[in-house]
Structure 1
Amino acid sequence: MTGLLSPSTWSAPVPLRLATDESQYGGKASQLAAAARAGLPVPAGIALEWLFVDAVAADDDEALAALHVATAGLQGGGLAVRSSALGEDSAGASFAGQHLTCLNVRGPDGLTEAVRMVRDSAHSAAALAYRERLGLPGRPRVAVVVQELVEPECAGVLFSRDPLDGSDVLVIEASWGLGEAVVSGLVVPDHYRVRHDGRVIERTAGMKDLAVEPAPAGGTSQVPVPADRIHRLCLDETRLESLRDLTARCEQVFGGTQDLEWAFVADRLLLLQRRPMTGAAPPH
């Protein structure tokens, strides 16, 4: 179905590091672009501006062709497709959990469907109610980030300040496999508190009895974790130091507080998402 939106209206996808205009590509993409340009370890990907996403959702033939050309250069098997709505991942609104993420997307048809689903998730009743509570005007404008899917040994989240009491320490949660096990609350993750000088003041093993892993045919599956790894800590001193260093580098690039999603592929640390912390207790 052709051109409800012509190519003169939308711009073709760009490499993620070039997606610096938040008004086109949204907060998630623009922050990952800044991270990549600063040399932080961001997986390769592309960014789709919100008008282009609308064109894909409208089955615009030229937009669909441009999408598939742009992703042809991404190596490996599956892709991660995430929302980067305008106003998302800002200091006042994270939209965490409101918008869909599609992992291990495979093939041109799967990619097209994933982009549509991510866009549609921003129009769900819950997401629209969240927008209304924040006083955000107008309809959602949903840009999209498409990246090579990483297959980590472990992954999780990091806050540069304790989100509960405002303490000036790093709070890290980790589990085996993809980070979805942590962010979706599927397991009790390992919990760490680390001072900014590197001293570890708490490490508590979680109950990590399942892992989210890429499924051979696409998508993900929940697989049992071997018994000897359920209570084994994911992060040793070297990995904790790598996370502390990544946090310090993000503070240099972005300033303020850091809410990071990360993954270790072997001993290589990757930055998957970065946003300022929202709703945290004030420092004390």
Structure 2
Amino acid sequence: MKTFILPLVEHTTFSQGNVGGKGSSLLWLVKNGFNTAPGFIITTEAFREFIRSAGMEIQDRDQLRNLPLPRHIEESIRQAYRNLGGRVAVRSSMVGEDGVVSSFAGQLDTLLNIEGAEAAIQAVRACWMSMFNERFRNYLSERNAKNNLAMAVIVQQMVEAKAAGVAFSADPISGEDVVIIEGTTGLGDVVAGGTVNPDRWVVDSQNNIVESIQNSQTSPALTRAQVQELAAIMRKVALKANSPQDVEWAWDGNNFILLQARPITSLAGKDVYSSKFVSEMVPGLIKPLVWSTTTSAITQNVFAHVFDELLGTGKVDASKLMKRIHSRVYANVTLLGKACEQLGLP
């Protein structure tokens, strides 16, 4: 029996092929105890049946504009919306989206503040149509990706956001072990879309705020305590996922609501560095002269030999064992993890 609607609840059984990348991520967040907005997912089965009802190959979005939804699918969406009620956000969730190699962020439609069953149905249609727009087709072509015509749609209650934005559990450029948070007051889609200059915080591995930049005209989007609370949540998400995460978040005045999470695609295959344990051996700020004459020499002449013994001679580039980032020493935890595996350690 085909399933057209799945609730966003802990006991829901799903596959990414049925709920798409974003839907899979949301259900994963729910199952792992993180706060998300209530809602439901219209599965890829509904999309496929809608496409089949056209009786022809779909080449562009205009062919879908006036194509009626099969009555049983329309009624399923209508009933699910009635059970949820109120204003909702309607977002596309494509199979393969938000994966490690390629993120489709910003390429498919999201519609906010939708109210009423009829408006929700039209918003779902708009999401399906976005799969056939020129921008998305060009995006796929540039990455040699395949458009396999499988999209789910997520419908969630709108969060009455006091502040919202994006956060990274590691520096998406260097892989440094810090949490980077960007946010603004109100809805966070302007931050994710790059249309505003947000407030920005950097939080180190000890949950200390080491950088704070306020771009808002009045007060910052979050207090220091809220920044530290969100940073702690980010580390929990990354720990559960076993990979650095890129998260969209909202603050409703009482709690942080996670709107989606995905791997940081820019770090796929890259080594990750952390100061968590090495800071006890090499504390404080390291000046360039000390780094070049002492710390770097110890790294290459001592630690490199240890890794050679564990992983095999010549398999480790000594220059990658440690780095000096913002005047502090960071160790390559990716290589450390490989060494632990070699020794049979967890």
Same fold flag (TM > 0.5): yes
The 1-side partners of 2:17 and 2:170 are apart by 28
* Residue of structure 1 equivalent to 2:18: 24
Question: What is the DSSP-based 3-state SS (H/G/I as helix, E as strand, rest coil) of the residue aligned with 2:171?
Answer: coil
Alignment CA distance shift 1:157-1:146 (3 Å): same
1:242 aligns with 2:229: yes
* Residue of structure 2 equivalent to 1:263: 250
1:12 aligns with 2:4: yes
Report if aligned partners of 2:244, 2:263 keep a CA contact under 8 Å in 1: yes
Q: Deviations over 1:53-84 (max 9, x none)?
A: 34456511110001111121214x21011111
* Residue of structure 1 equivalent to 2:296: none
Greater fraction helix: 2
Percentage identity across paired residues of the two chains: 30
- Bigger shift: 157-166 or 88-97? 157-166
- Bigger shift: 50-59 or 157-166? 50-59
1:137 aligns with 2:131: no
Deviation at 1:85, TM superposition (A): 0.2
* Residue of structure 2 equivalent to 1:34: 28
Equivalent residue runs for 1:123-202 within 5 Å: 123-202=132-211
Greater fraction strand: 1
Aligned amino acid, residue 5 of structure 2: P
Equivalent residue runs for 1:40-55 within 5 Å: 40-55=34-49
Aligned amino acid, residue 137 of structure 2: L
Alignment counterpart, residue 275 of structure 1, candidates 262, 272, 294: 262
The 2-side partners of 1:157 and 1:36 are apart by 19
When Rg is computed on C-alpha atoms for both structures, the one with the higher figure is 2
Aligned amino acid, residue 114 of structure 2: V
Q: Deviations over 1:86-110 (max 9, x none)?
A: 0101011111110110001111111
Question: What is the DSSP-based 3-state SS (H/G/I as helix, E as strand, rest coil) of the residue aligned with 2:83?
Answer: coil
Q: Deviations over 1:202-225 (max 9, x none)?
A: 00001x4xxxxxxxxxxxxxxxxx
- Bigger shift: 88-97 or 244-253? 244-253
Report if aligned partners of 2:140, 2:147 keep a CA contact under 8 Å in 1: no
The 2-side partners of 1:102 and 1:231 are apart by 28
Report if aligned partners of 1:52, 1:63 keep a CA contact under 8 Å in 2: yes
TM-score in terms of structure 1 length = 0.84
Q: Which has the higher contact order (CA 8 A, sep 6+)?
A: 1
Question: What is the DSSP-based 3-state SS (H/G/I as helix, E as strand, rest coil) of the residue aligned with 1:181?
Answer: helix
Unaligned runs of 5+ in 1: 1-7, 209-229
Question: What is the DSSP-based 3-state SS (H/G/I as helix, E as strand, rest coil) of the residue aligned with 1:91?
Answer: coil
The 2-side partners of 1:26 and 1:135 are apart by 19
Aligned amino acid, residue 71 of structure 2: D
Report if aligned partners of 1:156, 1:179 keep a CA contact under 8 Å in 2: yes
Question: What is the DSSP-based 3-state SS (H/G/I as helix, E as strand, rest coil) of the residue aligned with 2:160?
Answer: coil
- Bigger shift: 159-168 or 169-178? 159-168
Deviation at 1:267, TM superposition (A): 2.5
- Bigger shift: 39-48 or 51-60? 51-60
Question: What is the DSSP-based 3-state SS (H/G/I as helix, E as strand, rest coil) of the residue aligned with 2:84?
Answer: coil
TM-score in terms of structure 2 length = 0.69
Deviation at 1:131, TM superposition (A): 1.7
The 1-side partners of 2:255 and 2:114 are apart by 23
Report if aligned partners of 2:78, 2:118 keep a CA contact under 8 Å in 1: no
Unaligned runs of 5+ in 2: 51-63, 274-346
Alignment counterpart, residue 100 of structure 1, candidates 84, 100, 109: 109
The 1-side partners of 2:163 and 2:226 are apart by 11
User: How well do the aligned residues superpose, as a CA RMSD in angstroms?
Assistant: 1.8
